[in-house]
Amino acid sequence: MPSPPKSSLRKKNLRKKREIKPRASLHDSHNTTIDTDAADTTANSSNLETTNDSIDLSTSSSNDEKSSDEKSNKDTSNISVKKNSPNFKRPRKLPRVERYNMVDPKAKNDKNFEISHWVIPILVAVAIPFYCFIPVETDSHSEKSNMEIYKEKMQSLQNEFPSQNNRLWKVVRFAMQEHHDKKDNRRPAVLMLASNADANPTMQCLASKLADIYSHSCSQPKFVVSENEFKHLSPESAKVLLDNKITSQFQAGSCASVVRHFELIPPAATNIFYQFCKNNIAPYKNVAVILTLQVEPGDWSKPYPNLDNLPPKFWDRAVDDFLTHTLAAGDPVAMTTDMIGGLILCITPSVVWVRQENDLNC
């Protein structure tokens, strides 16, 4: 009997394969998985059964051809069986929106980093002009420097003493303003205020307020050495008292002192001001020493007929002459001409003459 054609055998084998029920595939609600090894085993068993059924109908040559065909079509047969199985379920496709929303976390992080790399500099560039140009409500004193505050206070003080000569304010600014603004001065600020007896209250008030302005940024307020403290003391006792008080106050943090009525200090005790006023040996250089001097008329004052309103060109000369006369007359033994001359150079680098004010706020 002639062997059936190869095409008939192939169709018959395929028909039998379709009738074989494959093993149920494992799947869940989210992912569908197929056991590849089980499917391969099922396919191999089906191939064996099909081969056994077809032995009676084929010859040895046809078996060889069948084996070669099965080897070449093994993968396609297995895939066909799986897809055509009634229990086969395709993987669930996500909706379009969900598919578009699924992003690789690493790619998402890279994208966020790239966005922040550009957005942050832009935000900073936009914020800087607002920060620089929009006014911020803060304490006005914190925004002003010490020099600005000092100048405002000096201007206010000048308005309180309208009767004073303009030169007085120029000398005061020269002696104290730049010195106040520095922290590495080479000498202390020394200022001598002089007046006659009528203007003495005005002079003492002005000296006190100048010391307050100078010391507004110091840790301690000004201190005053009153004439009553050394008026009846011996020269040595007065010198010790002046040394102890000035030294202790400056060490405690005060930076401005007022020594009232310099003319009443025992002449021999005035040598202590070499220590505090001389440029190269002064122990405290970032301080102000304000001296007041009440000038009394006498034989020395004949060249100056009007002490009530002394012209500025005579201020230094009149003060030098009065001090020379007073110190020499007070202690001619201790106060030699050289000693008096050296002392005057230390305490009178800046001299002003104070006029009487009718209205004082002291």
Residue 307 falls within a domain, yes or no? yes
Residues 19-58 as b/e (b if ≥16 CB within 10 A, e otherwise) read eeebeebebeeeeeebeeeebeebbeebbeebeeebeeeb
Residue 96 falls within a domain, yes or no? no
- List, as one string, the DSSP characters of 131-184: HHHS-----HHHHS-HHHHHHHHHHHHHHH-TTS-HHHHHHHHHHHHHHHH-SS
Q: Do 205 and 348 belong together in one domain?
A: yes
Q: Do 12 and 68 belong together in one domain?
A: yes
For residue 281, count other CB atoms closer than 10 A to its CB: 11
Q: Do 65 and 213 belong together in one domain?
A: no
**Angle, vertex CA 102, rays to CA 100 and CA 107, nearest 5:** 110
Q: What value does the mean pLDDT take over residues 166-192?
A: 91
Q: How far is CA 196 from the centre of its chain?
A: 52
Q: Do 168 and 292 belong together in one domain?
A: yes
Q: Do 123 and 171 belong together in one domain?
A: no
pLDDT, one tens digit per residue, over 269-307 is 999 998 999 887 899 999 999 999 999 999 999 898 888
Q: Do 75 and 158 belong together in one domain?
A: no
Per-residue DSSP letter, 359: S
Which residues on neighbouring strands pair with residue 292, listed in sequence order?
193
Alpha-carbon dihedral 210, 216, 217, 219, rounded to 10 degrees: 110
Residue 92 falls within a domain, yes or no? no
Quote the domain boundaries for residue 251. Answer: 146-353
Q: Do 238 and 115 belong together in one domain?
A: no
pTM for the full model? 0.62
The answer to whether the CB of 276 falls within 8 A of the CB of 291 is: no
pLDDT-derived band of residue 228, with 50, 70 and 90 as boundaries?
Answer: confident
Residue 94 falls within a domain, yes or no? no
Q: Do 206 and 348 belong together in one domain?
A: yes
Q: What value does the mean pLDDT take over residues 13-21?
A: 51
Residue 141 falls within a domain, yes or no? no
For residue 335, count other CB atoms closer than 10 A to its CB: 20
Residue 200 falls within a domain, yes or no? yes
Q: Do 127 and 164 belong together in one domain?
A: no
Residue 358 falls within a domain, yes or no? no
Residue type at 13 in one-letter notation: N
Q: At residue 44, does pLDDT exceed 70? A: no
Q: At residue 63, does pLDDT exceed 70? A: no
Residue 227 falls within a domain, yes or no? yes
Q: Do 49 and 107 belong together in one domain?
A: no
Q: Do 128 and 224 belong together in one domain?
A: no
Q: Do 325 and 251 belong together in one domain?
A: yes
Q: What value does the mean pLDDT take over residues 97-124?
A: 58
Number of domains in the chain: 3
